[in-house]
Structure 1
Amino acid sequence: MSDSLGPKAHIPSDIVRKKYNFSDLINVEELQNLVEVNYAATGMPSGIIGVDTGEIYAGAGWQRICTHFHRAHPKTNALCIKSDTFILNKIQAGEPHAYKCANGLWDIGVPIFCFDQHIATYFLGQFFYDDEPVDLEFFSKQADQYSFDKKEYLDAVRSVPRFKREKVQEILRHNIAMSKFLSNLASRNMERQMELEHRKRTEIELVKLQNYLSNIINSMPSAIIGVDPAGNVTQWNNRAEQLTGIPQQKAINAEIETLLPSLSGIMQSITRAIETREKQFDLKRRFHSDGKTHHEDITVYPLIANGVEGAVIRIDDITERVNLEQMMIQSEKMMSIGGLAAGMAHEINNPLAAILGYTHNIRRRIFGSLNKNEVVAEECGISLDNIRQYIENRDILKMLDGIQESGERAATIINNMLSFSRKSEKKYGRYNLEQLLDDTLELLVIDYDFKKRYDFGKIKIIREYTADTPAVYCEGNEIKQVFLNLLKNASEAMADKHYSHASPCIILRVKQDDDMVLVEVEDNGPGMDETTMKRVLDPFFTTKPTGKGTGLGLSVSYFIINDQHNGTMTVDSAQGKWTRFSIRLPIITTEEL
């Protein structure tokens, strides 16, 4: 292609691979006006025809000899097509070409390019040069050969315009300039069109990428919340919706602390993260929701790349992990105390047995009706009655009672300690936990010693038992002992709380929880702080005054459930409001633990 025709712009690779329709790049209606004006000014017939389709995009001054004769007859039309093809082949290199067709008329073809692709041809003609005589004999034979009306055909020949060669060159220069203009315009329009297509593809890819990233973010088990430096929400994934119950539409653009009051103070972490370019942490954050204690880790990541400012808040619900860690820690403690308890219990049992035995013998030898007591007293010249009176007056008998009571209490502690270190033969069976709970309540009502300290009858008992809860395979007496410990613990805790509007209440729940049966013992007592809640299942830990509790009741209960029955026992509490112990025992189909 010469310098006079066709642009020399860089051809994008995606453009080269595509064929173009001239009418997609040029406004053919306006082009038709230009061709008509050009014909009116020059008298030169012309037309713009597509290379691949042969479609006529614009034309003016078409001669009757073409439209009514040569193009209308199949044989002469074949000659026209042959001429067109010859010219097309000649102008591929970019130069215009003049050719006298087999039908005896002159045509000139000027190529129109889009980049380096030949998309249309600007034809001039048909015409005669005025310095060439018109061979009427040739056209007369043509009329005879193709059965044209000779008079009309020759009249059409005589009406074909004649031009001086200089004039044709002048018109050709104009048409070359017009072809260059159309080539440049087509190339620019094509470039714009490809830019638009590229932009559309880019937008589609961006949407796909955005959807892909959104799917990744929404698939994460963590709540992901994006915020700008002012704390306005910019991103809110599915997990955030699940944890908060707030839909994305409502969350976007809302102020984070207004949207989630539970994150009060988070703006300080956001500001600090942005300023320091460092992550901020709030780990194992504790809060209450739906009557339960939850734990979560909050991490604030600064956004610092590509000039974007803001932060990403990641919230992980670690409640199950924390509970599992606490259970593992508790299990480790129980294992440790088990070994210690075995050694201590055996070492203490022997002197304790001696203390209790000697105390019993002292009573027998002073207050018993043994004959030898009288005999020895007479031998010593002492009245046994006077000795007894002295002992009573000096409260020695109360001291003996104290020794006996303390010894028996120590023996109970030792037996509890030994339960950590051995599994004795138990009598397991299938039990309904609702029935075991009700049996335990009856024991508390008739427990005289417990009634002396706490009026259990004044406590409101609410039973929330789910029908058709499966039975579990367990050691009934041990489970009742666990329930007894929990109910006593609740009663004692509620006795320390002053109720102004409510009254002491225990809620008992039994229901199936997947492959476990869940039992909850919940009271509306004073509750526990986090420190107490973490230690309440520890052996020997108690909040009662000295001498009022052994600190083993709950830890033994934990051991019975977790170690002896392959279950779980957890505690949850809101200080000043309530405490809930949850026990889960497995539902099994065989009589094996």
Structure 2
Amino acid sequence: MKVKTGQPPEINLNPVHISKADGTAIELTSIIDTEAVQSLINDFYRLVHIPMALFDLKGNVLVSAGWQDICTKFHRVNPETCKYCIESDQKLSLNVAPGKYKLYKCRNNIWDVVTPIMVEGQHIGNIFSGQFLFEDEPLDYELFRSQARKYGFNEEEYIKALEKIPRLSREDIDTGMAFFMTFANMISQLSYSNIKLSQSLAERDAVVEALQESEKREKARSNELAAVLDAVPVAVYTTHDPQALKITGNRLSCEWLRIPPGTNLSKSAHEGERPEFFKLFKDGVEIPPEKMPSQLSAAGIEVNDCELDIVSADGRIRHVLGNARPLRDENGNLRGSISAFIDITERKRVEEALRKSEEHLRLLSDNLPDSAVYQYTLDPDGSGCFQYVSAGIERLIGLNSRDILNDPSILYRIIPSQYMGELIEAGVRSAHEPVSYTHLRAHET
């Protein structure tokens, strides 16, 4: 079991006195609105796809989002592996300092991260983010297959669940945990605010003072959230009304367009207020304002995996990919939207370069004199197929490359049977090492 304590930016945890009237400790379930918190983390997970859960000190899951099948359908179902889960949740969350986090691999070999919820030095719960693997660590299939056999899991279904686990970078974890630690502080402060208010209702002056303190804390939390949004490597856009008349962006979104923070980015703004310093395109066609992601989401439509181009006034093009979600008030009425996009310009450039390179290589291979080039893939079960056969095959043996791709057996039928075994062996070996093999001509029958 691997454990690592994170070193995130410092989070200022103000001491809070919180207890029942009889002096006994307050439990987390009695001081948070689980439905409201669940809605918040659902929205957060849909935006960034980082799983999380809120636990009390007894190991009870109060709210969660993004839990993976490998845990809910396997590890948490089997009594022995479930025991490992609860052990990890309870024991490994001990001795984590406020404003810090602990990264560990549980006994079921899945990574988790934990940060505590502290109130006046009292540990009342934990925020877990987990059920992930790092993107730079290879999947140890044999390890998980042995686990499946040991605990009686359906091996293939277990491996499918394994392959669905999020693969996160260490930067993703640092960024996500910065948010979660701020969130833990918010829970602590909000819990204090609610209880303090209920204790002070009998005294008007005390109520006013509590409300003033609450406003200060709310502003501080708002500033913390703004800092988190400015820190994430994602362009985040907030639509402030259902008509999408005002849209603002975080630091990165403004840097993309080289504009001051707070600039209205809405193409739906009133005449004379609409920005002219950028345009949005999809598949080469300019997007009208009512079809833009923020506007669609402000109208109640969820937008997923939206790929588009941001074209600046100076002609610079940025390819982006993202999602957008509606925002609603406490009565369920639409009040705006929030969207998040990542820059995929470099990925698109590499894809285009690769496409051109493949075209160039195929053109060269199709015109090699007295030669043919083919690409053959071999599956783990020993089966395989042709992915590419150059046009030179027709000049060599009289078979059309498209026919071979559709039915490889027509090529095998012209190879003398005494050479077939040797040819297959050479093909298998070539998947692991360079192999020199004498070409067989069609007339050798």
TM-score by length of 1: 0.31
TM-score by length of 2: 0.41
Determine which structure has more spread, i.e. the larger CA radius of gyration.
1
Structure with larger RCO (C-alpha < 8 A, sep 6+): 2
